[in-house]
Structure 1
Amino acid sequence: MRRARRRGLAHEAADRIRESILQGSPPPGAPLREVDLATRLDVSRGSVREGLALLEQEGLVVSQWHRGARVIEPTPTEVDEVYTVRGALERLAAHRAATRATDAHLAELAGLVHALEHALARGADAPELLRLDLGFHDRLYELADNTRLQRAWQAVRSPVHLFQLTRIRLGHPHYREVVVDEHRALADLLIRREAEAAARHAEAHVASARDALMRMLRGRPPATDDQ
């Protein structure tokens, strides 16, 4: 974990802790001890406490009285709640992008799918594939042209990132099988400006990820028809 820079220490601490969590250390469910983090980041415990509070607002950390903070765990309940919210946001983002974005901007999404396909073909590792995956969705929300919608996406993005990492860890072959086709189908609908179909597909895409992960958490393989 890199030390925090001497500017905006609470936010810097949050950034460094988030970065570390999304790299898998500490893992989901692990405790986040203020004294240890303050030493490793070379900041005060107060800055760490404020940083953890910021991460709790993002949904990446949970705090309990007398038990301190810990990294959120992808339980079926947490997964269902996060992905249900994400599905509603994704549906709205896709519909707005299909009706508001320029042709050139929508074509960018096809380029992002191509980059994802190329990375998959050359055997890119899971973190790189997920970075490209989330990059596609970041751009989709930008093209929706609604600041509050983008903020809502950012409010769930960190737990989505963590949960997707868990999904890939538990079922990497399944993720690799579906990731390009699902994004290509959505990009094609958006480019054709089929707003309602794109909205439905975007919501179904999120539901597919949710259902696959929930099955894995319950010890069952993802269904072969998860699309």
Structure 2
Amino acid sequence: MIFRVVCNNKKGLAVSDSLSRRPARTPQSPLAAKASVAFASLKRDIMLGELRAGEPLTELDLAARFQCSQGTVREALLQLQEEGLVRRQGHRGTQVSACTVDEAVEMFRVRQQIECNGMARVMRHKSRSLIPDLQDMAEDMIDAATADDELQLAAIDRDFHRRIFRDADLPALDPILHRCLVHNHRFKISRSIGTRDLMATALRHRVIIEAIGEGDMAAATQTLHHHIATIVDFGPTLFPDAEQ
């Protein structure tokens, strides 16, 4: 089931993960609508670093902020917990999770293994809609880059990689990949706001589409490996064989 989470960033553009792992309640449910608003707003603040690691998030305060019940806030916090953006620790309450270099390195390594191992299956079972879907997302990334909207670009980027992996037909691994992608982008955004070339980031996805379209499994896997390995320059210890 597709669930689109939408919020407004500072530039007024929508931010979404249209392939969210968590199934939506019925669209008519007021609880689901309010929980989506709270989830999207809090996710935006965490991704942009406006809510810092360790900052407490109390249900009572958030219910007042979003003018909703504590049950609605709890639903939003559970979604954030699933994405690894908050930690809920019983009597200690809920806090924004850390975004450390050590975790980022491991998340990149797990992501690389999942995606690159999945590429062989993608190339054997590639759906007819894969390339058109990826081309549409690549254009959307260019639009986000033109608007200087890093958060929206990252959201579409996640959709792009999860769309590729969907053709691998390994749905049990998608939640793990999704969390890796969210953490990767949070780490990268936290260290690059105002300094990253967003258009270059958007355009570098084209080579992945070309490699998949050419049908060469080895080349497509290597292209994806290089793409992931060069997202952030951690130095030679992360992926020693990658060209930095």
- Tell me how far apart the structure 2 counterparts of residues 111 and 43 of structure 1 sit (CA, whole Å): 36
1:180 aligned to 2:227? Answer: no
**Matched residue type, 1:168:** S
Deviates more, 1:92-101 or 1:16-25: 16-25
Tell me the equivalent position of 1:126: 150
Q: Identity over aligned residues, as a percent?
A: 26
CA shift at 1:155, angstroms?
A: 3.8
1:193 aligned to 2:215? Answer: yes
Mark the CA change 1:69 to 1:99 in structure 2 (over 3 Å): closer, same or farther: same
Tell me the equivalent position of 2:126: 101
TM-score by length of 2: 0.68
- Tell me how far apart the structure 1 counterparts of residues 105 and 156 of structure 2 sit (CA, whole Å): 23
Deviates more, 1:138-147 or 1:60-69: 60-69
Tell me the equivalent position of 1:18: 43
Matches within 5 A, 1:1-227: 6-8=30-32, 12=36, 13-22=38-47, 24-49=49-74, 51-64=76-89, 67-117=92-142, 120=145, 122=146, 124-169=148-193, 171-173=195-197, 176-181=199-204, 183-209=205-231, 211-212=232-233, 214=234, 226=244
CA shift at 1:64, angstroms?
A: 4.7
Mark the CA change 1:7 to 1:67 in structure 2 (over 3 Å): closer, same or farther: closer
CA shift at 1:60, angstroms?
A: 1.1
CA shift at 1:37, angstroms?
A: 0.9
Unaligned runs of 5+ in 1: 216-224
Aligned residues: 210
Higher helix proportion:
1
| Equivalent residues of 2:120, 2:217 under 8 A apart | yes
CA shift at 1:162, angstroms?
A: 2.1
Unaligned runs of 5+ in 2: 1-6, 9-28, 236-242
| Equivalent residues of 1:59, 1:155 under 8 A apart | yes
- Tell me how far apart the structure 2 counterparts of residues 103 and 45 of structure 1 sit (CA, whole Å): 45
**Matched residue type, 2:182:** S
Q: Deviations over 1:176-197 (max 9, x none)?
A: 445423x122211111122223
Q: Deviations over 1:53-112 (max 9, x none)?
A: 442232111245664322223211121122222112221333322221135532442443
TM-score by length of 1: 0.72
Greater length-normalized contact order (CA 8 Å, ≥ 6 residues apart):
1
**Matched residue type, 1:186:** I
